Structure 1
Amino acid sequence: MTRFCAGFRKRRERMVGLEYELLGVDRETGRAVPYAGGDASVAHVLARLRDQFGWRQVGEGGGGSSYGAPRLADHARTGRADVELSGRPHVRLADAEVELRGFVRELREVSTPLGIAWLALGTQPITKPDELAIIPKSRYRIMTSYLPRRGSLALWMMRCTAGAQVNLDVESSGEAADMLRLSLWISPVLTAMFANSPVSAGSPNGWMSRRARIWRETDPDRCGLPPRNLEPDGGVRDYADWAMDAPMFFVDRDEDLVDMSGVSFRTFMEVGARGQEPRIEDWDLHLTTVFPEVRLKSYLEFRSIDSNRLELVMGFAALCAGIIYGGEAVHARLTGPLTGWSYDERIAFLEACAREGL
């Protein structure tokens, strides 16, 4: 609980942060570019961003390759044939947009001469996951070994999807619980509004948001809608309990990832496992490996939508900020129609929103 509460912000200090993924493809064929191997690769693009614009590589650790640019981006992280901006927190949404546009501009400048285009879509439109090599990093090796045993579309999630995310502050554990519940309730609507992945493997796939369907078939232990947090009395501790019962992927020991896949964090915390003893930073890392539709840290992460063109991502961010920061009147108007649903009804609604869109 202390780790959640440490980052809460007072209302006057609230900020907004954006994360934005784009899928790299060959401009001529539309097929995904590889992570590494020649000039037309994600790794080469990141190297050019470093050399041309002064981005700095942070290193793998628990999260994959990261590149920082003090002028624009906090870091861009790649875990497949994509690039992700994880932006700084900003007081004004307009400043977050400036950062995002700068990121896209620099990315295009280094990529266009290489014949690479960056698609703002929820899934790769042509390439399938078995056509992409595993990313040569411990994180993805461990996940590739474990997740396909948990969900039939896990490799699609890892290698062929992209989304957009907005991060918003809360000021107390009570507000965190209330806003997490509201956010989970409305997340299927957001999925439908910004559904942008109707084509995959070169054909219409029957879903307006195939990405949302992919996440539903990735790992039921760590994805979807945490049941207790849908209830009126669900709190931050319930979210922590849900996360503690989720199996781990790994722990970071001196920037070397130790495979802990399949061991629940609760078991690890109580008795240790595989020669490792728990550390507080293991919990922080574990929280990044659970993937609900809205994720709670010391702030809320809205993560349910497909990647979209920049203007729509800014609309998504403004909508979410308006809801969370809009006050009790806004919350009451949204809460009323969504109160009293069963868990099964919410899951069915999520499935319908992913299939039909708006």
Structure 2
Amino acid sequence: MARDTTDSRPIEAVEELVAYLASGCKPKDAWRIGTEHEKFPFYVDGNLPVPYEGPRGIRVLLEGMQRLLGWDAIEDAGRIIGLVGPTGQGAISLEPGGQFELSGAALETLHQTCRESNAHLAQLREIAEPLGIRFLGLGASPKWLLSQTPKMPKSRYDIMTAYMPKVGRHGLDMMYRTCTIQVNLDFSSEADMRRKMQVATRLQPLATALFANSPFTDGAPNGFQSWRAEIWRDTDNQRAGLLPFVFRPDFGFADYVEWALDVPMYFVIREGRYYDCTHVTFRQFMGGALRDTVPDGTPTMGDWANHLSTLFPDVRLKRFLEMRGADGGPWRRICALPAFWVGLLYDEAALDAAEELTGGWSFEEVNALRDAVPAEGLSARFRNHELRETAREVLAISRAGLKRRARLNREGFDESDFLAPLEEIVARGTTSAQELLTAFRTRWGGSIEPVFLEQAY
């Protein structure tokens, strides 16, 4: 999750909110790749979750990373809850259940992205191993009950924890027991944003299937290949899921703003204090609803930026696009997720091909696929064939796009090799989740414990 902002510029008109999104437009030579990945810390002795406090807790882990990196501390009520690189190197943050997240720097190539994630994991091991801590690369916590899961001391999470049970069945599981890999990508204009967001929205269920990696809950199979994706089907549907208006041919920044205005808020920050605002929408906030209950209750651009960060559609629009459909996974998957989307969206011919392939897919079709994928993965039926066949076609488009980008590393290889883990999944016809379930039923002997060895960083 991004660091909350405190930009104090007052908002005077809705047009400023539209302009805020539009200000993200960049020329193609300024497009960058920002990759985020989360993982579960655990104690090697007993495969137990890591609390925030204690001599071997997450606070100590963050402090060790701060000493190693020299990054600035992010604090909440006097507690360190993250780190930020002082010169644009990215940030480290905590999700509600202690999931450790790197929000990577804005980089030019996937080779840089892969080096970044590799360096981060090496640095993390240097600090974590003496503490007896390792990290698990899965889309959902496989063993610990919700009641056993630690809670991080972040004010926004206290507000969300109280609110989530009111608006869905799985909000607390989403917060405390899931991990993801995401990539943030740029656009050059409103038309370019529209094309990319429409293609990405239609293909998000396919990404979920390719990255399905959360088949266990409470120490046993949960009946899903991506339990994380199933959770998102009933978390807070006012702010999550598939957005019908994105499918319209004239969709633009103003449509997203109009939707976001009517989503209930989580909080505003004043003088470092978080105020619970879940009882009002941002539109009501702009109409004066918080003037008597929050100091300086006039909306600011910082409030708007924070509100946008609390919306959870499958593709999230800020001043860039966030791809949100994938489960967390092993190191090779951290590189594969941005490769998949960069190949499709950062090459004009690939975007044309992806648009031609998906342009006729309706909201109803994609939503039905989104409902089927958590349990069925690549075996889900779509337009009279298995999704696996569509995956093969889409991966070919992405590979061709990466080859045309022709961003070479020192050895002369382009970025297309980063798709190999996904191409292997399609070739063998089984997702990572299915492979883990087979292991559980055979060589693991019905025990969940080996997952902490085989899926650990």
Same-fold status (TM-score > 0.5): yes
Name the structure 1 match of 2:221: 204
Distance in 2 (CA, whole Å) between partners of 1:32 and 1:356 is: 29
Q: Gaps (5+ residues) in structure 1? A: none
Which residue of 37, 41, 46 maps to 2:57? 41
Q: Which amino acid aligns with 2:330?
A: R
Q: CA deviation at 1:246?
A: 0.8
Q: How does 1:78-227 map to 2 (within 5 A)?
A: 78-79=94-95, 80-227=97-244
Residues 252-291 of structure 1: per-residue CA shift (max 9 Å, x gap): 1122111101311111112232342211221111000001
Aligned length: 354
Aligned-residue CA RMSD in angstroms?
1.8
Name the structure 2 match of 1:324: 345
Q: Are the counterparts in 2 of residues 73 and 86 from structure 1 also a CA contact under 8 Å?
A: no
Distance in 2 (CA, whole Å) between partners of 1:114 and 1:284 is: 36
Q: CA deviation at 1:336?
A: 3.5
Q: Gaps (5+ residues) in structure 2? A: 1-17, 379-457
Q: CA deviation at 1:177?
A: 1.6
Which residue of 332, 335, 348 maps to 2:368? 348
Distance in 1 (CA, whole Å) between partners of 2:86 and 2:288 is: 42
Residues 91-127 of structure 1: per-residue CA shift (max 9 Å, x gap): 1221122221111111111111222110111111101
Q: Are the counterparts in 2 of residues 123 and 162 from structure 1 also a CA contact under 8 Å?
A: yes
Q: Which amino acid aligns with 2:363?
A: Y
- TM-score normalised by structure 2 residue count: 0.74
Most deviating of 235-244 and 190-199 = 235-244
Name the structure 1 match of 2:320: 299
Are residue 75 (structure 1) and residue 96 (structure 2) matched?
A: no
Which residue of 8, 11, 21 maps to 2:38? 21
Distance in 2 (CA, whole Å) between partners of 1:120 and 1:70 is: 28
Task: Look up the SS of the partner of 2:225 in the other structure.
Answer: coil
Q: CA deviation at 1:73?
A: 4.3
- TM-score normalised by structure 1 residue count: 0.94
Residues 154-209 of structure 1: per-residue CA shift (max 9 Å, x gap): 11111111101111110111111221111111000001001111111101111111
Q: Are the counterparts in 1 of residues 82 and 93 from structure 2 also a CA contact under 8 Å?
A: yes
Q: CA deviation at 1:137?
A: 2.3
Name the structure 1 match of 2:353: 333
Name the structure 2 match of 1:267: 284
Q: Which amino acid aligns with 2:118?
A: R
Q: CA deviation at 1:134?
A: 3.2
- Answer with 1 or 2: which has the greater Rg: 2
Residues 284-341 of structure 1: per-residue CA shift (max 9 Å, x gap): 11000001111111111111101111212211111101111121x3233323443344
Most deviating of 186-195 and 277-286 = 277-286
